[in-house]
Amino acid sequence: MDRQGALAALHAAVSAFARDFCAADERWCVALSGGADSLALTAAAAKLKPTTALVVDHQLQPNSAAVAATAGEQALTLGCVGAQVIRVDVGAEGGPEAAARTARYRALEQARGGAPVLLGHTLDDQAETVLLGLGRGSGPRSIAGMRASDPPWGRPLLGLRRSVTRAACAELGVAPWQDPHNSDRRFTRVRLRTEVLPLLEDVLGGGVADALARTAAALRADTDALDDLARQALAEAGSGTGLDTTRLAVLPEAIRRRVIRGWLLAGGASGLTDKHIRGVDTLVMAWRGQGGVAVGSPLRNQRLIAARRDGVLSLHTEPVYADRSPPPARRK
């Protein structure tokens, strides 16, 4: 694809996304890192709607403030109506990649002012996501990858390769920032990008990234259909705020576990994993009088527990003690 073709493909992709998912939005934001993907996206977005660039400074590198400032200036040059640099403090929970992602999305959510936020994920990012899900055994929902529209987040470039965004930046005459973290082998995605995917392309004769993206699209269609069935089953299995295990037990496994997931999320669970859902499923299908199952809770000092009593699953919270054990009972 020549450079002019790359720029045309970029504009076509963002225009189609605007038509299909953001027709009613008068403005939008772009998450801008300064890299080729987000710079190219910013340029295309600014031609279609009033666009504000949101530049998150993770403060993980000595020159991060200068990089963020440059990205903001480039956004204005490319036609954005505004550019906001947001400094965040990155924690350590879940590892460096997960912690940075959590801080970034939280900052974008707070800064977007009700507008959708466009993200520069490409087909290559989608392929890496699917491969990660496969390697970790995370289940079909993870292997289904990222959605083009997952409000308030939008990903117009999921059908384009990174080579297209780089060529588009060259045509625009803008210099993308080269994040040193993108070549740091300590990060799992970097090794997937630079070692695993090239090896698979070589062994399988090319086309692996496109094939992984097609796999994600097919799984999303299947997942959407199963989720619709699960929503109906959840309504039928409801017993007050709990779930009737008799109704759950007759459901196919794929539907039953989706019902459990939907119920847990509605009850306030967060950070759900396949292990959590399988644990609660044992309360339905392998009930032997066992105790409850702890699932992810957004409350720092509380655990959310799914338990079974009289054939009904219910949720309750329990305090978390520093030594992981309750205080001794008082003598009477």
35 annotated as ligand-binding: yes
Residues 226-247 as b/e (b if ≥16 CB within 10 A, e otherwise) read beeebeebbeebeeeebbbbeb
Contact (Cβ atoms closer than 8 angstroms) between residue 245 and residue 308:
yes
What letter would DSSP give residue 194?
I
168 annotated as ligand-binding: no
124 annotated as ligand-binding: no
Structure tokens at 324: 């992981």
142 annotated as ligand-binding: no
Rg (CA), the chain: 23
34 annotated as ligand-binding: yes
Give 58's contacts (C-beta < 8 A, 6+ positions apart).
64, 88, 90, 100, 103, 104
33 annotated as ligand-binding: yes
Residues 104-126 as b/e (b if ≥16 CB within 10 A, e otherwise) read beebbeebbeebbbbbbbbbbbb
Q: Which residue's structure tokens are 């959708």?
A: 116
- 3-class DSSP state for residue 188? helix
3-state helix, strand, coil in the chain (%, to 5): 50, 15, 35
* Residues of each annotated binding site: 33-38
Residue numbers belonging to the annotated binding site for ATP = 33-38
